[in-house]
């Protein structure tokens, strides 16, 4: 199965966010299928606007790892995107596939639904290292396309107070591994 290169990430951020759904992401023996993402471009909620200094990588690259810390104790994982404009895709939830015992140990939870069902959770479960920052995605992770394109639902992004009208959250329809359910019907 083909791994994803720079050309995949060079496209429109909304397309990249949708096409990451269903992809298998692996790091250090732990793997999951991406079931939820969010797109950030140059909107009011984007770090391109709110953290212009540290998020400069959003405008200067595509296909690189962008990690940020939030609320003190949490870190979140993004892949930069779009060769033409600032953009990044936030990984919000994965379906656990392998390395379950290691991830349970790192997360300290019994319910497997809590392993990877949130942006901070998946970084902890996969033990994404700090030195992955600004590295090419495919040098840090193994990332494979799905055989079939999953059906997708959309909704407003989570945890933001600005640009809440943009439906730039994407998820695999019917997945039980989402960070939160999607508000309404399909998308």
Partner DNA sequence: TGGCCGATATGCT
Partner DNA sequence: GCATATCGGCCAA
Q: Is 171 helix (H, G, I), strand (E, B) or coil?
A: strand
Q: Is 164 in the site for DNA (CB under 7 A)?
A: no
Residues 1-36, buried b or exposed e (16+ Cβ, 10 A)? eeebeeebbebbbbebbbbbbbbbbbbeebbbbbbb
Separation of alpha carbons 138 and 129, rounded Å: 14
Do 173 and 152 touch, CB atoms closer than 8 A? yes
User: Of 7, 149, 162, 176, which one interacts with DNA (CB under 7 A)?
Assistant: 162
**Interface with DNA, residue 157, by CB under 7 A:** yes
Return the DSSP state at 41: S
Q: Is 107 in the site for DNA (CB under 7 A)?
A: yes
Q: Judged by CB, which is closer to DNA: 3, or 54? A: 54
Choosing from 32, 96, 99, 118, the residue that interacts with DNA (CB under 7 A) is: 118
The site that binds DNA (CB under 7 A) totals a number of residues, namely: 38
- Rule CB under 7 A: is residue 182 a binding residue for DNA? no
Among positions 46-105, residues that touch DNA (CB under 7 A) are 46-48, 50-55, 58, 68-74, 76, 78, 88, 90
Helices of type H across 85-185: 100-107, 119-126, 137-140
CA dihedral 17, 2, 93, 178 (to 10 degrees): 90
Nearest distance from residue 2's CB to DNA, in Å? 26
Least distance (Å) between residue 161 CB and DNA: 4
What backbone phi and psi angles, to 5 degrees, belong to 122? Answer: -70, -30
Contact between 40 and DNA per CB under 7 A:
yes
Q: Where does this chain touch DNA (CB under 7 A) — which range of 25-33, 41-49, 97-105, 132-140?
A: 41-49
Contact residues: DNA, CB under 7 A: 38, 40, 45-48, 50-55, 58, 68-74, 76, 78, 88, 90, 107, 109, 114, 118-121, 157-162, 179
């Amino acid at each position: 199965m083909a791994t994803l290169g720079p050309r995949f990430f060079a496209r429109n951020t909304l397309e990249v966010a949708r096409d990451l759904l269903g992809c298998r992401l692996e790091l250090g023996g732990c793997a999951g299928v991406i079931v939820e993402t969010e797109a950030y471009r140059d909107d009011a909620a984007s770090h391109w606007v709110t953290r212009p200094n540290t998020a400069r990588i959003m405008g200067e690259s595509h296909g690189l790892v962008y990690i940020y810390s939030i609320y003190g104790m949490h870190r979140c994982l993004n892949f930069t995107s779009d060769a033409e404009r600032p953009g990044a895709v936030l990984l919000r939830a994965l379906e656990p596939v392998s390395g379950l015992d290691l991830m349970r140990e790192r997360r300290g939870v019994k319910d497997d639904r809590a392993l990877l069902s949130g942006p901070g959770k998946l970084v902890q479960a996969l033990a994404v290292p700090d030195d992955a920052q600004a590295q090419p995605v495919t040098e840090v992770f193994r990332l494979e396309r799905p055989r079939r394109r999953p059906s997708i639902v959309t909704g407003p992004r989570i945890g933001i107070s600005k640009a809440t009208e943009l439906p730039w959250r994407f998820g695999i329809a019917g997945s039980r591994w989402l960070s939160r359910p999607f508000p309404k019907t399909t998308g």
